[in-house]
């Protein structure tokens, strides 16, 4: 979350032997302590809150690359890499949040909430609204830009998400949610803190099936050089321009005509405009083909300074032979008949560091499709989850 400019972090000397500990104090811009600040490792169950005097101490698990989050409603959220603050005493200054006006103001309205709440829940939470719900859903604010067909959602408060299936309550700090209906893309980013609510056999079974074949499972396998052993097959996908899809010049003509239509009302639509519109709706911009099968990890990863990076210019197809876990006579066993699940990753030439826990640097910038795109909040597990927990 790029708001560090609004915050002040002062690191003071603090020496410990081998323990990975972070301690310090949270204050406001006039040096008054701030209590009840949520302090946690993003995406995990590891966290604490600041005391009445703003002080805190947090013991960290070894070998983690998570961001440390300082979050309190009505204040700007601050995140920093744990590698920068391990075994330090911190003084963190949080600044009161302020509304920032956009260049083109699109109001957040009740009508937008009613029109798009179900779309948001499907895209963000998933489809099991009975067992996975946002307890303070009415705090959400919606705006829709009709001209550009872009939906934006903001959460002035931390979202409290109850997941009965996986036995967690998640404090989710939604930083961004936007959907572009013209491009058919949805993007959301945020930080999360997990609190376990139950862990019976049914819940553990649900967690195992949520983890198996997930994007986190895949990247953990990549980190440990166990991709094939864990059941993943990676193929190279090459994109070819689709000659039937409208050119950029044709798309601009379509946009210009749409503006004219709004100004003049109902008019006859020329055949060429109808044709451009039909091709835009029915044809993909690119055709894709598998151009290399079962590529080794060395093709799409690179090591540098003891770190592992996803570094690949092509789209990746990731097939996974999945055997669902079942509970039989008190034992977790795999089903006998597998199904093949297919996912796609689009590194697009960008480089992402891969961490031991299955997370990546800038995860919101790594586009995915297929099964990985179904890993919404209803299937979200803590990054410190281990199979069988």
pLDDT digits (tens, 9 = 90+) for 339-356: 999 999 998 789 999 999
Contacts of 270 (CB under 8 A, 6+ apart): none
Residue 264 has pLDDT above 60, yes or no: yes
Q: What is the mean pLDDT of residues 321-338?
A: 93
> In a 3-state reduction of DSSP, which class is residue 321?
strand
Q: State residue 83's pLDDT score.
A: 80
Kindly list the distances between the CA atom of residue 256 and the CA atoms of 125, 253, 282, 350, in Å, as whole numbers in the listed order.
36, 5, 20, 33
Q: What is the mean pLDDT of residues 274-280?
A: 91
Confidence of residue 255 (pLDDT cuts 50, 70, 90): confident
Q: What is the mean pLDDT of residues 202-216?
A: 96
Q: Three-state SS across 373-384?
A: HHCCHHHCCCCC
DSSP for 324-383, please give it: -EEEETTEEEE-SS-EEEEEEEE-TT-EEEE-TTS-BSSGGGSEEEEGGGG--GGG---T
Report percent pLDDT > 90 for the chain.
66
Beta bridge partners of 81: 67
Q: What is the mean pLDDT of residues 50-56?
A: 96
| Lowest mean pLDDT segment, chosen from 13-22, 38-47, 148-157 | 13-22
Tokens 């998400």 sit at which residue? Answer: 161
Q: What is the dihedral of CA 124, 368, 224, 203, to 10 degrees?
A: 30
Residue 377 has pLDDT above 70, yes or no: yes
**Rounded to the nearest 5°, which phi and psi values hold at 275?**
-65, -45
Q: Which residue has the higher pLDDT, 262 or 140?
A: 140
User: DSSP state, 100?
Assistant: -
Beta bridge partners of 195: 169
| Lowest mean pLDDT segment, chosen from 105-119, 237-251, 306-320 | 105-119
**pLDDT digits over 14-37, tens only?**
333 344 788 999 999 999 999 999
C-alpha angle 8/10/11, rounded to 5°? 150
> In a 3-state reduction of DSSP, which class is residue 77?
coil
Q: State residue 245's pLDDT score.
A: 93
Kindly list the distances between the CA atom of residue 274 and the CA atoms of 26, 282, 283, in Å, as whole numbers in the listed order.
60, 12, 14
Q: State residue 16's pLDDT score.
A: 37
Q: What is the mean pLDDT of residues 217-222?
A: 97
Ordered strands of the 232-241 beta sheet: 286-292, 232-241, 315-322, 339-346, 367-370
Return the number of other C-beta atoms located less than 10 Å from residue 130's C-beta: 8
Q: State residue 2's pLDDT score.
A: 35
Q: State residue 105's pLDDT score.
A: 65
């Amino acid at each position: 979350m790029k708001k560090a400019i609004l915050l002040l972090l002062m690191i003071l000397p603090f020496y410990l032997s081998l323990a990975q500990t972070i301690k310090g104090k949270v204050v406001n811009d006039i040096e008054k302590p701030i209590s009840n600040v949520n302090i946690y490792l993003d995406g995990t169950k590891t966290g604490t809150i600041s005391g009445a005097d703003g002080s805190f101490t947090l013991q960290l698990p070894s070998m983690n690359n998570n961001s440390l989050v300082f979050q309190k409603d009505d204040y700007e959220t601050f995140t920093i890499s744990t590698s920068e603050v391990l075994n330090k005493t911190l003084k963190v200054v949080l600044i009161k949040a302020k509304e920032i006006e956009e260049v083109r103001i699109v109001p957040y309205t009740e009508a937008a909430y009613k029109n798009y709440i179900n779309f948001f829940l499907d895209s963000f939470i998933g489809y099991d609204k009975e067992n996975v719900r946002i307890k303070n859903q009415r705090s959400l604010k919606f705006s829709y830009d009709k001209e550009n067909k872009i939906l934006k959602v903001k959460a002035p408060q931390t979202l409290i998400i109850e997941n009965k299936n996986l036995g967690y309550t998640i404090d989710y700090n939604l930083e961004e949610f936007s959907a572009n209906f013209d491009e058919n893309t949805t993007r959301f980013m945020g930080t999360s803190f997990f609190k376990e609510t139950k862990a019976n056999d049914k819940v553990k079974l649900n967690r195992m099936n949520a983890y198996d074949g997930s994007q986190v499972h895949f990247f953990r396998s990549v980190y440990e050089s166990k991709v094939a052993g864990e059941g993943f097959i990676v193929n190279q996908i090459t994109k070819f321009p689709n000659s039937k899809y409208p050119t950029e010049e044709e798309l601009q003509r379509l946009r210009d005509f749409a503006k004219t239509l709004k100004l003049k009302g109902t008019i006859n639509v020329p055949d060429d405009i109808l044709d451009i519109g039909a091709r835009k709706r029915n044809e993909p911009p690119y055709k894709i083909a598998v151009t290399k099968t079962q590529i080794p990890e060395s093709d799409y990863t690179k090591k540098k300074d003891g770190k592992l990076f996803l570094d690949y210019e092509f789209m990746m197809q990731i097939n996974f032979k999945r055997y669902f876990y079942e509970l039989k006579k008190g034992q977790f066993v795999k089903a006998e008949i597998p199904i093949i699940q297919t996912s796609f990753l689009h590194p697009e030439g960008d480089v992402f560091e891969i961490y031991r826990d299955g997370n990546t640097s800038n995860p919101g910038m790594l586009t995915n499709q297929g099964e990985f795109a179904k890993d919404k909040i209803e299937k979200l597990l803590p990054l410190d989850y281990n199979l069988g927990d």
